[in-house]
Structure 1
Amino acid sequence: MQTGKERNETAVKVTVNGMILNVVLTIFKFVAGILGNSAAMVADAVHSLSDFITDIVVIVGLKAAGKPADTNHHYGHGKIETLCAAFVGIVLFIIGLEIFVGGLSKILLAINGGKLEQPGIIAFIAAVVSIISKEWLYRYTLNYARSVKSDAMEANAWHHRSDAFSSVGTMLGIGGAIALGGKWAVLDPIAAVILSLFIFKVAFDITYKNTNELTEAAPEKEIIEDIQHIIASTDGVKDFHKLKTRKIGNNIATDVHIQVNNKLSLIEAHDICTEVENRLREKYGNDSILYIHCEPYI
């Protein structure tokens, strides 16, 4: 299992790699949109630029979250990572709203007899390159996000996929306009509106999950049940109560009162507490924040 420092170094490295690709892709999209006379591709480039901005936010958040506890932050700085993940979720929602409104306005323009411009082939190529690049970046980031258990990285991975989704709409619109004629350019905004709904769903899930953590909500039911099982199955634990569990960044924080045989010595009772701690740390990492109070079982 990686240490907190190794985890943060891995997370920052992966995010920096994604940021470099985003910069290159954004420049390419802007050039292709201008040369290919495609307003959709220029808008897609702006979307990629937002990825670059959130990459910076995530990197700053990960570096801050990796700092050890100090006199002002007794539980460490893990909540900063959660805050960054929530921010990425909000940005995703804004991007989804932008894509939805932009697509709907173009649909209404076409319905009212307006003409949508026919783009050039370079814009279509840029859309295909964007889809492949962003889908790869999504999988690359998500794989590492799950291996180091980083909510901020996972949120950023979904931000990459939202860019791929928007590029799908752009590709369909540009491809339809080129292959079928100018009137079929309406395919672009139709696809964009549909895809924006998927982005809304992802944005809601990310924001809700991380906002819950910021307000000290308990983790998933499965985690609580697993912690209960670990405590109850530890030799010497007769019963337990007052279990409280929450997440602080990537770490689990648990408070619990365990009950042991009232005839045990102080040292023996303490050894049982230590065994509970060791088993929890083995499952949830050495940086877990554990407070175990021992009481006599009567």
Structure 2
Amino acid sequence: MTEFLVKHFVKDYEHVEKVSVRTAYGVLASIVGIFCNVFLFVVKFAVGLVAHSVSVMADAFNNLSDAGSSIISFVGVKMAEKPADEDHPFGHGRIEYIAALVVSFIVLEVGFTFFKDSLGKIRTPQEINFRMISVVILLLSIGVKLWLGLFNRKLGEKIDSKVMKAVFADSMGDVLATTSTVVSLVLFSLTGINVDGIVGVGVALVVMWAGVGIAKDTLEPLIGEAVDPEVYQKIKHFVEKYDGIEGTHDLIVHNYGPNRSMASIHAEVPNNVDIETSHEVIDRIERDAVEELGIFLVVHMDPIETKNPEVLQIREDAYQVMKETDPACSLHDFRVVHGKDRINLIFDMVVPREYDEEKKNDVKARFCDTMKQKDGRYEFVITMEHSFVAEEKEEE
């Protein structure tokens, strides 16, 4: 069904890097979400009235809020499609994140409202009218929300949309909530025990948790995230494949909305190559990055020694000492300046962000002591800095 909808309603659906195609995916997901959630609201609200069940009606209004959320998402996706203008030179892509943030507050508000109603239901329980048709309809609801969640996850993976992935998580929460409602109805029919209010609290907590999750996922790119390790490797390999580039470091990526990024990176070039030759390579990299990666990339040149065997050996010694001192740290921008009685080693040392000043000073001191054992003339000019790349998460 997902492939059918995509092929029939998303023109040029395979080229997900295009803003227009990505927008079409977002519109499709929003319209399908509106239709499914309005349908579920009508059905569940009717069942809740008949069964006098606050948990069922809580679930129904959760679906209504989901429909409202889909409408906001639709508006947000369409507004995010607007091209750059004089006041917004990087486009309007972040509106999609803002729309998702609004959705998260709606979800939280609905969850909190029914949390209060469910507490009241616990204090003053009302009789539940069990009907098999209610259970059947709620089971149908579980099936619809499960499909809707998987639908959003698949589309979200295609276009790398955090909003759609959040909708998937929200839908899975709805599946859990409705399942709990069915359990409470069946339990009442079998035992006469009314746990409707308690289950309603559970439903409300699930809804609020989903709202918190959506807010977290949308706030991160608005505040500014560390560079994803996969994105880092992709840009690093792209730049380093060009002749005349010896290595890269200091990658920073600014997110201006999905598929709208600006980045800067330092590229190491041989110091014995004419600067105009290296600059021509850099220009080509920046032009190709826009076409091939869809990223506005600014490349800074760092000239490095590639011929002098003495400098190369000192640099190799320094890298090895750093690895032995603390494998979590690294060096770059390494230069050697010979003086009359000293040899200045000038470089940047990248340390984990969680290191405090004492820890950083300890690593620096141990590194310098070890290097001085190799040559007492070494003096150090070290700039301590942090990486902008997120740590890779270990697979469980």
Structure 2-normalised TM-score?
A: 0.64
| Distance of 2:296 and 2:114 partners within structure 1 | 42
Q: 1:17-72 deviations in whole A, cap 9, x for unaligned?
A: 22112122211222222233333322221111101100011000101111111111
Query: 85-94 or 100-109, which moves further after superposition?
Result: 100-109
Shift of 1:278: 3.1
**Counterpart for residue 137 of structure 1:** 148
Q: Which amino acid aligns with 2:32?
A: N
User: Cα–Cα, structure 1 residues 261 and 47, in superposed 2: closer, same or farther, change >3 Å?
Assistant: same
Q: Is the 8 A contact 2:244 2:270 kept in 1?
A: yes
User: Which of 201, 214, 226 is the aligned partner of 1:206?
Assistant: 214
Q: Is the 8 A contact 1:83 1:210 kept in 2?
A: yes
Does 1:219 pair with 2:234? Answer: no
Consecutive unaligned residues in structure 2, runs of 5 or more: 1-14, 306-396
User: Cα–Cα, structure 1 residues 102 and 236, in superposed 2: closer, same or farther, change >3 Å?
Assistant: farther
**Counterpart for residue 31 of structure 1:** 46
Does 1:80 pair with 2:95? Answer: yes
Q: 1:75-98 deviations in whole A, cap 9, x for unaligned?
A: 011110111222223333334434
User: Cα–Cα, structure 1 residues 198 and 35, in superposed 2: closer, same or farther, change >3 Å?
Assistant: closer
**Counterpart for residue 274 of structure 2:** 264
Q: 1:214-248 deviations in whole A, cap 9, x for unaligned?
A: 12333334433543454345432234454321322
Does 1:150 pair with 2:158? Answer: no
User: Higher helix share goes to which structure?
Assistant: 1
Consecutive unaligned residues in structure 1, runs of 5 or more: none
Matches within 5 A, 1:22-101: 22-101=37-116
**Counterpart for residue 23 of structure 2:** 8
| Distance of 2:263 and 2:269 partners within structure 1 | 19
Shift of 1:7: 1.3
| Distance of 1:129 and 1:120 partners within structure 2 | 15
Secondary structure at the aligned position of 1:245 is classed as strand
Structure with more contact order per residue of length (Cα contacts < 8 Å, sep ≥ 6) = 1
| Distance of 1:31 and 1:199 partners within structure 2 | 21
User: Which of 114, 120, 141 is the aligned partner of 2:131?
Assistant: 120
Q: Is the 8 A contact 2:244 2:269 kept in 1?
A: yes
Query: 115-124 or 208-217, which moves further after superposition?
Result: 115-124
Secondary structure at the aligned position of 2:253 is classed as strand
| Distance of 1:28 and 1:115 partners within structure 2 | 21
Q: Which amino acid aligns with 2:166?
A: A
Query: 77-86 or 161-170, which moves further after superposition?
Result: 161-170
Structure 1-normalised TM-score?
A: 0.83
Shift of 1:5: 0.3
Matches within 5 A, 1:98-117: 98-109=113-124, 114-117=125-128
Q: 1:162-221 deviations in whole A, cap 9, x for unaligned?
A: 33232122211122222322xx221x4444444555544443333223212112333334
User: Cα–Cα, structure 1 residues 253 and 116, in superposed 2: closer, same or farther, change >3 Å?
Assistant: farther
Does 1:253 pair with 2:257? Answer: no
Q: Which amino acid aligns with 2:88?
A: H
| Distance of 2:224 and 2:71 partners within structure 1 | 26
| Distance of 1:281 and 1:93 partners within structure 2 | 41
Q: Which amino acid aligns with 2:64?
A: L
Q: Is the 8 A contact 2:82 2:91 kept in 1?
A: yes
Shift of 1:257: 3.3
Q: Is the 8 A contact 1:236 1:272 kept in 2?
A: no
User: Cα–Cα, structure 1 residues 89 and 234, in superposed 2: closer, same or farther, change >3 Å?
Assistant: farther
Q: Is the 8 A contact 1:100 1:196 kept in 2?
A: yes
- Number of residue equivalences: 288
User: Cα–Cα, structure 1 residues 40 and 208, in superposed 2: closer, same or farther, change >3 Å?
Assistant: closer
Shift of 1:12: 0.4
| Distance of 2:169 and 2:285 partners within structure 1 | 39
| Distance of 1:103 and 1:221 partners within structure 2 | 44
Q: Is the 8 A contact 2:247 2:268 kept in 1?
A: yes
Q: Compare CA radii of gyration and give the structure with the larger one.
A: 2
Secondary structure at the aligned position of 2:194 is classed as helix
Secondary structure at the aligned position of 2:104 is classed as helix
Identity %: 26
User: Cα–Cα, structure 1 residues 192 and 253, in superposed 2: closer, same or farther, change >3 Å?
Assistant: farther
User: Cα–Cα, structure 1 residues 72 and 276, in superposed 2: closer, same or farther, change >3 Å?
Assistant: closer
